Structures are given as C-alpha cells and as structure tokens.
C-alpha cells in the first residue's frame, strides 16, 4: 500500500535512500531536509508499506519552470528495498507520483538518473519516458 510519508517514516526512508545512494549521507542533515519537505506543499513524498514495513519511497518536487511555462513534477528519489526489487513496487510508486503530479497541475513528470544506474534507465524508458537532457554537476566544495 502506498501512502503519504510521515515523520515517523524517517528512519526507514533514510535507510532506503542511503542504501541506494552513491554518497555517504549525514543522517542529521537528511532528517532536517526530510521534515522540511514534509511541510511543503510542492514536495510530494510517498512510501510503500507492506506488512507494517516501509519497503519503497518516492520523493517528487512540483514547480513552475520559467523556461517551459508550465508546472513540472520532478522525481528526486525513487527507491525500493533490494529484497523487493522484483515486485511491482517501483511501478506502483511511479504511478502514485504521476497521479500526484497530475493532481498538482503538472503537465509533465521528469526524473534524473545516475549514468551508472542502467537498470533504472531501462525502467523509465519502458514506462514511456524519453531522454531529453544531459545533467552537468560541479563540486563546489573542492573548487
């Protein structure tokens, strides 16, 4: 079952996101950001709960894009516990995000995926997404 994320889901969501991240996440910063996002209407956070355990999470940001003149739902995180990857949990989380984006007045939904996450690329392409952008990053800490 998918439901809106709650503050009580913090530990489970942190564990899911950090297990799939390429970065060493700081729990205190994650907690502040998570609680802040829960309180903002533009953030849509959902969890997939099975038998009382959170096994999936999706986080989306709905914003107006000046260069497009429309509202976009940007999926920032979509993660599923590794032991449930073969189930349709990911499909259902994506469908939930799409429904939430439509309800928020978004005309498009987008996702960014790390180059190394090739299985995710296939998933999104199979779900009707198209490759439209490159994303460039620059580390400002070490500049």
- In CATH terms, the superfamily for domain 2-126 is Gcn5-related N-acetyltransferase (GNAT) (3.40.630.30)
SS (H, E, C) 15-57: HHHHHHCCCCCCHHHHHHHHHHHHCCCCEEEEEEEECCEEEEE
Give the closest residue to 113 by CA, choosing from 74, 81, 84, 69: 74
What tokens does 94 get?
């994506």
What tokens does 58 get?
């999706």
What tokens does 138 get?
């620059």
Predicted TM-score (pTM) of this structure? 0.92
One digit per residue, the tens of pLDDT, for the chain of length 143 reads 999 999 999 999 999 999 988 788 999 999 999 999 999 999 999 999 999 999 999 999 999 999 989 999 999 999 999 998 777 999 999 999 999 999 999 999 999 888 888 888 999 999 999 999 888 889 898 76
The partner residues of 48 in beta bridges, in order of sequence, read: 2, 56
Task: Note whether 114 and 78 are within 8 A (CB).
Answer: no
């Amino acid at each position: 079952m998918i439901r809106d994320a709650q503050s009580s889901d913090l530990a489970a969501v942190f564990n899911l996101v950090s297990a799939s991240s390429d970065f060493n996440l700081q729990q205190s910063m994650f907690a502040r950001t998570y609680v802040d996002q829960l309180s903002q209407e533009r953030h849509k956070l959902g969890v997939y709960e099975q038998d009382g355990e959170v096994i999936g999470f999706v986080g989306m940001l709905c914003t107006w894009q000046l260069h497009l003149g429309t509202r976009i739902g940007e999926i920032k995180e979509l993660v599923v516990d590794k032991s449930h990857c073969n189930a349709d949990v990911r499909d259902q989380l994506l469908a939930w995000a799409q429904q939430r984006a439509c309800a928020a007045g978004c005309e498009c939904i987008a996702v960014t995926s790390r180059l190394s996450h090739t299985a995710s690329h296939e998933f999104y392409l199979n779900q009707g997404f198209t490759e439209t952008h490159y994303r460039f990053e620059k580390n400002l800490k070490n500049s």
